[in-house]
Structure 1
């Protein structure tokens, strides 16, 4: 589905470019048994990021995480756990098209999946597994934020909701 056809694309078209919209979405951290994290290189801005995207009408937040991971990597998470929620004033950001959003993102950790890794999709130009101390650049700030949330979850075993 194209951006224009998506729920958030249609909502943005109705609201115009200047309104701050709330975007509900999911981020999926796929971690293999070697402790590596799967990152994608986004086709829209060239930055490395974690698979993520917006909730579509009718989706559950878990379905959103699974769909976004599959769309961006070819992998379908089969074991995933919600580890954090990001929301609030500190999640407000403006994208490269000048659209401002306040995000409400559920972060999931996926430890099992099916499928074969696809490195190029409509939304990505590359993908790969990286140890946290050997991440590629340039990358979105959300990668560091995600690693911090994952480290806290690993340390405490407690769902993080800052």
Structure 2
């Protein structure tokens, strides 16, 4: 299934769903950030995905990170809540989702890096390398907030 992110696009289709989702801002001992290259649009992003029924929201970030990267993580904090109605995600099946994402801070506790059906590449990326990667503006904001180590969660 393909994906198109619309950010403040007046020509975007109207949203027809909202799904709580998470991303995990995982850093290693060298301060590098764990990123995936998404198989659905080629952008680089924090690992994450939609919340499943019967699961705690932090467990969504843990599960999605393990599925997409092979790493097991421990949640250590909240970076922010991202609910911009101007960010719509259009899927090839007709779903147009309004953004609703919680960004968690996390640390790796096991596993081994690998790709999945949702990730064509998985890498530890230094902050000095981020500018060269295709990252949508909403995801870049989450990464910047994670790197800034804000004392209070972002709410927006």
**Equivalent residue number for residue 23 of structure 2:** 27
CA deviation after TM superposition for structure 1 residue 157, in Å:
1.4
Q: Where does structure 1 differ by over 6 angstroms across 4 or more consecutive aligned residues?
A: none
SS at match of 2:29: coil
Q: Aligned residues, how many?
A: 143
TM-score when scaled to structure 2?
A: 0.81
Q: Name the structure with the higher helix share.
A: 1
TM-score when scaled to structure 1?
A: 0.78
- Comparing 53-62 with 18-27, which one deviates more in the overlay? 18-27
RMSD between aligned residues: 2.1
**Equivalent residue number for residue 109 of structure 1:** 105
Q: Name the structure with the higher strand share.
A: 2
Higher relative contact order (CA 8 A, sep 6+): 2
User: Is it true that 1:158 corresponds to 2:121 in the alignment?
Assistant: no
User: Is it true that 1:133 corresponds to 2:133 in the alignment?
Assistant: no
- 5+ residue gaps, structure 1, are 4-16
CA deviation after TM superposition for structure 1 residue 19, in Å:
5.4
Q: In 2, distance between residues paired with 1:89 and 1:48?
A: 22
CA deviation after TM superposition for structure 1 residue 46, in Å:
1.6
User: Is it true that 1:93 corresponds to 2:66 in the alignment?
Assistant: no
